Chains A and B, each alone.
Chain A
């Protein structure tokens, strides 16, 4: 059918961020053992407690098995065939952006993330991470005036060691799961955010992760701490070049919200997804978890997952504080041979805690898109409530969508609601819009963004538009 092909074309828009930056890098040799970890730690001039944290995690990891419960199929990862540290060669100490290699600045320019003083985004502070290291963080001084700390985690280890020691691994323990253990052992860089008591962060904070080299893994670590009555909105974006091999990305993100604090964490994930035959692409195994430690604290995850060949990711909330709130808003789009197994865990521990889950999965091509989520009401979660809504949209007739909701309640005086639906973009819907003069591509993107509206409305405004465009781009040619 004519339209079927047209839809395929729409979805198969070439990846725009697939270029490689030709830059001299410092890499350690492939393979993983205790010496690798000591070497990384040494390069980063880390204190002993951190080296021990890493070594301890490594021991745990060696005893663990790669999880196989996800609805994903991929060839086994050879963890000895990965480079665990890769950094662009730069001057030892960089005191200003002028000293950053122009090629790096150019790279981020090309990605739409200008970093230089003249061009930087006006209302968003950016931490730019290239392979294993943070290149630059903008607006640091301005943020510092408010007491906000926004820097790479490596710098935080040096300058704010007490906070790192107190909170690192406090939400995602080193032995939490296989990939978190691996990350804890070898993490290289990432972002650190600290919002002091009573401060509303004056601008959005953002990290941009760029994988450049094909044979090294990326293991970033993000830690965000929001003190009492503070709030912050944080966004991360990710892209990678096109390689025909798979690159492993195993990140850990930890959020901590104290009394009355609120953290909004938004992700637009656009790692290289592999080609239409499923060759290449990022293996994305990520552990993201927030701890609502304080009373009335709130953590809200929103994610737009469009890239990666494999996505394994469950941003979760531990709702400890009384009346704390957890939210998860997700759009996951898969096309061609992409596979995504993503969802959330809402663990209600404190009384009167509330959580909302809105998940929208879109599967096109031959892709498989699964929602997997756990809602748990602990024995003390009296008067707690959850609402979950999981919708799937199928495009074409070769794609698959699954929903695996797990519900556990140990507290009879709590409420759990779950709604789910599956729909297809039908030829009749497309024809209806077209017969009113609306172009095919626009018709598809109208329907897709209509489907995702509940989630997009949760994203910071400029990113919502971005996400909308990204989805339209990804779907170009895929509907029939």
Chain B
């Protein structure tokens, strides 16, 4: 039996993280800790460093960490390649999912799923077993199986791309999912589909970080914590009502906050 304390060890800990790209500092001391089962929202103006934070956690090669650390299930992950982080259970839902011509979505999903399963020491799935699994997950995001035979994200509408991201999340069963503006560019129906997909995937052992500008996603998925980011720092942390305050007053309201520890 797992001990109670173990259960509540944070999945992700970001401690006083400083990072830059091409010598331009972007993150200036970010600290955030996510426990299993928790949903965190990060809000803030464009360019405040939200997306950078998510990419750095996923291991994007364009950024250099100059100070601080990122721990995933207690281990420092700085030296891990992006694929190793993904296999271990870190998932990044892209704000702008990338199109890859010629590579079939189905094959991509299968290779990705098997990479994760291999890490988990689960049996890898052949094409037939995988198709069964993927069909089941398609329902979560109300996607048609025709998506599978198309090239990755190529010619997908904005909403389809985002649903494809959530489909990937469902297949990869991550320990932590960072969803970067998954709600942007979605109409109300698509937003509901995406939100309900996320809710169905979430459970007590997964941590979720929602990066968003809008309350409407948070109406669908109620966060446990809301962080406000500005100029590479988290300047305020509160509960879900903080998002409502932000909605009411706008980001200008946060300009008066100094960094709260």
Q: Mark B97-119, 1 if CB is under 8 A from A, else 0.
A: 11011111001100110011001
Q: Which residues of A contact B115 (CB under 8 A)?
A: 436-439
List B residues 106-134 near A (Cβ within 8 Å). 107-108, 111-112, 115-116, 119
List B residues 57-115 near A (Cβ within 8 Å). 58-62, 81-83, 85-87, 92, 94, 97-98, 100-104, 107-108, 111-112, 115
A201 to B: closest C-beta gap in Å: 32
Interface presence of A432 (CB below 8 A): yes
Interface presence of A427 (CB below 8 A): yes
B194 to A: closest C-beta gap in Å: 18
CB <8 Å contact, B98 and A428: yes
Whole-angstrom CA separation of A429 from B107 in the bound complex: 16
CB <8 Å contact, B86 and A435: yes
B106 to A: closest C-beta gap in Å: 12
Interface presence of B35 (CB below 8 A): no
CB <8 Å contact, A447 and B103: yes
CB <8 Å contact, A431 and B60: yes
CB <8 Å contact, B111 and A429: no
CB <8 Å contact, A432 and B97: yes
CB <8 Å contact, B102 and A432: no
Whole-angstrom CA separation of A124 from B96 in the bound complex: 48
List B residues 145-200 near A (Cβ within 8 Å). 151, 168, 172
A437/B86 contact (C-beta < 8 A), A2-B61, A3-B61, A450-B151 known:
yes
Whole-angstrom CA separation of A431 from B168 in the bound complex: 15
Whole-angstrom CA separation of A431 from B82 in the bound complex: 7
Whole-angstrom CA separation of A426 from B96 in the bound complex: 14
A437/B83 contact (C-beta < 8 A), A427-B61, A446-B111, A453-B102 known:
yes
A436/B101 contact (C-beta < 8 A), A2-B61, A450-B151 known:
no
CB <8 Å contact, B103 and A450: yes
Q: Which residues of B contact A450 (CB under 8 A)?
A: 100-104, 151
Whole-angstrom CA separation of A434 from B101 in the bound complex: 16
Q: Which residues of B contact A433 (CB under 8 A)?
A: 100, 108, 112
Whole-angstrom CA separation of A41 from B74 in the bound complex: 77
CB <8 Å contact, B62 and A437: no
Whole-angstrom CA separation of A452 from B87 in the bound complex: 28
A329 to B: closest C-beta gap in Å: 15
Q: Mark A410-450, 1 if CB is under 8 A from B, else 0.
A: 00000000000001001111011111111110110011011
Whole-angstrom CA separation of A450 from B108 in the bound complex: 11
Q: Which residues of A contact B108 (CB under 8 A)?
A: 433, 436, 438, 446
List A residues 6-40 near B (Cβ within 8 Å). none
A365 to B: closest C-beta gap in Å: 20
CB <8 Å contact, B112 and A436: yes
CB <8 Å contact, A447 and B81: no
A447/B111 contact (C-beta < 8 A), A437-B86, A437-B119, A440-B81 known:
no
B202 to A: closest C-beta gap in Å: 19
Interface presence of A461 (CB below 8 A): no
Whole-angstrom CA separation of A412 from B205 in the bound complex: 69
Whole-angstrom CA separation of A428 from B97 in the bound complex: 10
Q: Which residues of B contact A428 (CB under 8 A)?
A: 98
Whole-angstrom CA separation of A447 from B87 in the bound complex: 20
Q: Determine which of B62, B94, B97, B101 lies in contact with A451 in the assembled complex, contact meaning CB atoms within 8 Å.
A: B101
Q: Determine which of A2, A426, A435 lies in contact with B92 in the assembled complex, contact meaning CB atoms within 8 Å.
A: A435
Q: Determine which of B62, B94, B102, B112 lies in contact with A438 in the assembled complex, contact meaning CB atoms within 8 Å.
A: B112
Whole-angstrom CA separation of A452 from B102 in the bound complex: 8
Q: Determine which of A1, A423, A442 lies in contact with B111 in the assembled complex, contact meaning CB atoms within 8 Å.
A: A442
Whole-angstrom CA separation of A404 from B249 in the bound complex: 60
Q: Which residues of B contact A438 (CB under 8 A)?
A: 83, 108, 111-112, 115
B145 to A: closest C-beta gap in Å: 20
Whole-angstrom CA separation of A212 from B209 in the bound complex: 61
Residue of B nearest to A439 (CB): B83
CB <8 Å contact, A435 and B58: yes
Whole-angstrom CA separation of A437 from B107 in the bound complex: 13
Q: Which residues of B contact A427 (CB under 8 A)?
A: 61-62
Q: Can you report 8 residue pairs joining A to B where beta carbons are below 8 Å apart? A: A429-B100, A435-B85, A436-B83, A436-B112, A436-B115, A437-B83, A440-B81, A450-B151
Known: A427-B61, A450-B151; 13 extra A-B contacts, CB below 8 A, are: A1-B61, A434-B82, A435-B60, A435-B85, A435-B86, A435-B94, A437-B86, A437-B112, A438-B83, A439-B115, A449-B102, A450-B101, A453-B102
Chain A interface residues (CB < 8 Å from chain B) = 1-3, 423, 426-429, 431-440, 442-443, 446-447, 449-453
The 4 closest A-B pairs by CB, nearest first: A450-B102, A437-B115, A450-B103, A437-B86
